[in-house]
């Protein structure tokens, strides 16, 4: 798709993308910008975030990109990101809850419970916190679209990343509850990627990308852009009758019954 053929269906809208200094979040921010939106990106570490903002600004005017360092688990940081987005761009029409962590691997019987609590706090509670702030600051009166980044691990057990998967299952249920409570003015959906080629998921294909992709019907791992294109659709008016849904972007892996 050429630059000229990219739809500008998000022109005049403002988006907030969390965890956007790299990987899926950065790709989503780039997709929304390419479709005409102004975008705030957040992440914990200022230096990578500023580098991401500079990268985004190469393909869009700098005044359409706002970078705000902050921890998604911090209520004050969430409020600041939402309020400054509205102050800077005049609205907050799109919220992408992309931030996710996974410090706990292996069997749940060996899991550190403090680590499990942290996973749920960042992956689930913080996402709800962002929606609450967006609702109060703009969406409650004007409407909008929310997309939560879930995972196929929230749909089918993995064994290896089970605490993470449980948090993503909770995020999927949260998505459904929010869609019911916030409609018709606010649409809330989730996307559930399988293994995407990012630093976050690198441990899942470190032994060899070809080997990791062999079980996928599409015979490749996903890319951040695969997810970003889907998110761009879900927040657009073309998806105006889709809410409360979790859309898999998994290369067909769940259809095999082996994942």
Which one from 130, 135, 164, 216 is the annotated catalytic residue?
Answer: 164
C-alpha triplet 227, 231, 233: angle, nearest 5°: 120
Determine whether 210 is exposed, middle or buried from the number of CB atoms within 10 Å of its CB (0-12, 13-18, 19+). Answer: exposed
Sorted by sequence, the CB contacts under 8 Å of residue 175 that are 6+ apart come out as 148, 150, 188, 189, 190, 244, 246
Q: Which residues contact 111 (CB under 8 A, 6 or more apart)?
A: 104, 162, 163
Burial of 209 (0-12, 13-18, 19+ CB in 10 A): middle
Burial state string for 51-83 with b = 16 or more CB within 10 A and e = fewer than 16: ebbeebeeebeeebbbbbbbbbbeeebbbebbe
What is the Cα gyration radius of the chain?
17
Sheet strand arrangement including 65-69: 65-69, 38-43, 14-17, 94-97, 144-149, 186-193, 246-249
Catalytic residue check, 105: no
* Element of type H or E holding 227: helix 224-234
- The catalytic residues are 164
């Amino acid at each position: 798709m050429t630059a000229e053929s990219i739809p500008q269906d998000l022109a005049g809208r403002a988006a907030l993308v969390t965890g956007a200094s790299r990987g899926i979040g950065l790709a989503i921010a780039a997709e929304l910008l390419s479709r005409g939106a102004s975008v705030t990106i957040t992440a914990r570490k200022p230096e990578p975030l500023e580098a991401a903002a500079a990268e985004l600004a190469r393909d869009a005017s700098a005044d359409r990109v706002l970078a705000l360092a902050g921890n998604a688990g911090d209520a004050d940081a969430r409020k600041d990101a939402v309020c400054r987005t509205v102050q800077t761009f005049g609205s907050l029409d799109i919220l992408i809850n992309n931030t996710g962590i996974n410090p706990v691997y292996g069997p749940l019987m060996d899991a550190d419970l403090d680590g499990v609590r942290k996973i749920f706090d960042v992956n689930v509670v913080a996402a709800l916190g962002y929606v609450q702030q967006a609702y109060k600051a703009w969406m409650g009166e004007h409407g909008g679209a929310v997309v939560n980044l879930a995972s196929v691990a929230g749909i089918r057990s993995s064994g290896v990343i089970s605490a993470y998967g449980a948090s993503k299952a909770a995020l999927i249920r949260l998505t459904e509850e929010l869609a019911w409570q916030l409609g018709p003015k606010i649409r809330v959906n989730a996307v559930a990627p399988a293994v995407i080629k990012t630093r976050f998921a690198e441990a899942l294909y470190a032994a060899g990308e070809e080997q990791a992709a062999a079980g996928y019907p599409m015979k490749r791992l996903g890319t951040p852009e695969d997810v970003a294109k889907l998110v761009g659709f879900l927040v657009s008016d073309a998806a105006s009758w889709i809410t409360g849904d979790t859309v898999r972007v998994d290369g067909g892996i769940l259809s095999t019954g082996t994942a």
